[in-house]
Structure 1
Amino acid sequence: MRFLIIGGSGFLGAELARQCSTARHEVAATYLTRPGETTGVEWLPLDVRRREDVAALIAAFRPEAVINTASRSADWTTTATGAVNVALATSATGGRLVHVSSDAVFSGAAIHYDETCVPDPITPYGAAKAAAETAVNAIAPTAVIARTSLIIGDGGSPHEALVHSLATGKGRGVLFTDDMRCPVHVADLAAALLELAASEYHGIHHVAGSDAVSRYELGRLIARRDGLDPDRLPSGRRADTNAPGPIDVRLECGMTQQRLRTTLRGARQFLA
């Protein structure tokens, strides 16, 4: 299969490119500032904010499937407008689109959210992700919109880096005990997205881990796995701060998991 990974030099994009290459798919991946290091991948520079550049690249490569992982928390144009540009270009060439979204589209008021729940974001990033979902659904109704949660790996994610800095005393901050999410391993997420890309499914899918854990519990699990002292991790409550964002958001993935061969493991399992 001929894949194009938008944002291929990012944490998730790099894993998608690696799995595509390992499976001997024909794959290209885009980057904004520097290419990734995965061999067997054609690395292409792209700024998703430039509609004409997105259209030209996708028209030239003509992928059978596009997986869009590109977003920036403080950049509406990349997260929302970029998603529009990718959806328009993919639809114009008849390709299949998988758009990666986030649990940030929810406020946390309901705590549990399945694939039928309507976004109610309370942060600019969540609003940009919700706008992207709406646009992708309108432009490419056969696309998959895959909402996910905290993405963890084997040492390469931002949250793992934060835990290491806090546990070794090199960083400052706290891990919240009341901030609940459903972390997913990057390898599970990538495998699930590739499955969905090759399927005939469309619409909203939730692709997150099976365990709801706090950021503090997640940090302790990471510290133990990596031989660090979990008791050195500072803790606090998001409810006692002015930190923006939802407190407790748990993605229910039952419908999606029934459609997948890939098991979406919980953090207590993949960090054991």
Structure 2
Amino acid sequence: MKVLVTGAAGMLGQEVVRAGEAAGHEVIGLRRGELDVTDVEAVRRRVDSERPGAVVNCAAYTNVDGAEDERELAFGLNGRAPGVVAAAAAEVGASILHLSSDYVFDGRKGEPYVESDATAPLSAYGESKLVGEAPAIEANPRHFVVRSAWLFGLGGPNFVDTMLRLGRERDEVRVVDDQVGSPTFCADLAEALVALVATDDHGIHHVA
């Protein structure tokens, strides 16, 4: 299958490209400078020219704290772009796999969240990720919305790298003790995404 990956230079996007190629797919990886996912016509033209069987949308605004000050940018990439990409994929009969986040929840449940749980984001970042889910779902019946958490891996800043760096630089490292999550290795997640997109198990999935 031909798979188009947006955000291919990112920490997860790089791994999706690798995993897709390892699985035998023809993978077209597009970096930020090669495709502006907020540009409706540019996205339509590129997807139409490539005519993939699936589009994996890894393009995103990922600065959780920065989203509070850069709401327009965050909501453009995380909120509006997913619908743009999903619609373009639908026009050529391709499925869309969109990456969402555990930040769509408020974290007060006290146990693992399931796909049917009510969403309640507490931050601008979480709001932007939630806003992006519905357009992707509505624009393409062959949709996969994958919520993951605490990504770490090569090629991007993440919690694990930060802790390793602080451990080298400081005698004592202090962290908050009121956050619970599922650290997710990007290479493992990418393999799961590539396997999922080859199925007809459309809908919302929690993968972490």
| TM-score, normalised by the number of residues in structure 2 | 0.88
Please state whether the residue corresponding to 1:193 is helix, strand or coil.
helix
CA distance in 2, matches of 1:70, 1:88: 15
Task: State the partner residue of 1:56.
Answer: 45
CA distance in 2, matches of 1:127, 1:158: 21
Higher relative contact order (Cα pairs below 8 Å, separated by 6+ residues): 2
Deviation of 1:159 after TM superposition, in Å, equals 1.8
- If you compute each CA radius of gyration, which structure gives the higher value, 1 or 2? 1
CA distance in 2, matches of 1:31, 1:148: 21
Task: State the partner residue of 1:117.
Answer: 117
- CA offsets, 1:135-166, max 9 Å, x none? 11111233011100011236865223211221
Deviation of 1:177 after TM superposition, in Å, equals 2.0
Deviation of 1:190 after TM superposition, in Å, equals 0.6
Shift of the 122–13 alpha-carbon distance from structure 1 to 2, 3 Å rule, reads same
Shift of the 155–68 alpha-carbon distance from structure 1 to 2, 3 Å rule, reads closer
CA distance in 1, matches of 2:156, 2:32: 19
CA distance in 2, matches of 1:166, 1:117: 36
CA distance in 2, matches of 1:84, 1:106: 21
Correspondence list, 1:1-272, <5 A: 1-33=1-33, 45-72=34-61, 73=63, 74=67, 75-112=74-111, 113-153=113-153, 157-169=157-169, 174-208=174-208
When the two chains are superposed, the root-mean-square deviation of aligned CA atoms in Å is: 1.9
Q: How many residues align?
A: 196
CA distance in 1, matches of 2:26, 2:43: 19
| TM-score, normalised by the number of residues in structure 1 | 0.68
Where does structure 2 lack aligned partners over 5 or more consecutive residues? 68-73
CA distance in 1, matches of 2:125, 2:156: 22
What is the identity percentage for the equivalent residue pairs of Structure 1 and Structure 2?
A: 33
CA distance in 2, matches of 1:111, 1:55: 42
- CA offsets, 1:214-269, max 9 Å, x none? xxxxxxxxxxxxxxxxxxxxxxxxxxxxxxxxxxxxxxxxxxxxxxxxxxxxxxxx
